[in-house]
Amino acid sequence: MKVGKHLKGLRDRKDYTQENVATDLHISKPLVSHLEKDRRNMTKELAKQSVAAFNDAQYGFEIARETARDYITPLATANKAIEWHRLALEETFKREAAEAIEHFNNVSLAKHPDFATDEEIQEIKIGVKELLDVQTTINSFIARLEQVYPVTVKECMQKRLPEWKAKGWII
């Protein structure tokens, strides 16, 4: 997979050299350079290793998107419609979440899916799009919070997993 801009972005955020990255991943410095310039593709195994090695949610989300493009939303990093700032991301997340909640307050999912009308299915599709907007903004907000506060998503996730299991949300 092509990860050049993501790997370079990680290095810039963390102030790492190519040598730092090479050492942490147990690969050669020339390979890091080739990966950054997209002359070489990163293997899935190396991608997994790199996400584990670097405590950087933005990089983790970007690599996840490269491996599961149709199921992981991109981050809102363009700095055009939403500034990549914690306050702008917070407001955007709250607005998008409120829009999704409002939409689902007006859509009933009580009817069995086999009996949903075409119009009801259209409303559900719109709701899914609203939820994807929320996912983009929340992942962006989470990544940015990690960058500006002494918080790591990896640590928070590890602490939440047992709680989700206890609630019966996950296996």
Show the low-confidence residues of the chain (pLDDT under 50).
none
99-132 pLDDT tens trace: 999 999 999 999 999 999 999 999 999 999 999 9
* Paired tokens of 107: 């859509």
Residue 109 structural domain: 86-167
Write down the pLDDT at residue 21: 97
User: Is 81 a member of any domain?
Assistant: no
The count of structural domains within the chain is: 2
Residue that finishes a domain, picked among 36, 67, 98: 67
Whether residue 96 contacts residue 133, with contact meaning beta carbons closer than 8 Å, is answered with yes
Write down the pLDDT at residue 154: 96
Task: Give the Cα separation of 147 and 112 in Å (integer).
Answer: 43
Write down the pLDDT at residue 45: 96
- Residues 91 and 145 grouped into a single domain: yes
Write down the pLDDT at residue 47: 97
* Paired tokens of 35: 């990966």
Alpha helices, DSSP H, located in the chain:
4-14, 18-25, 29-36, 44-53, 57-67, 86-105, 118-148, 153-167
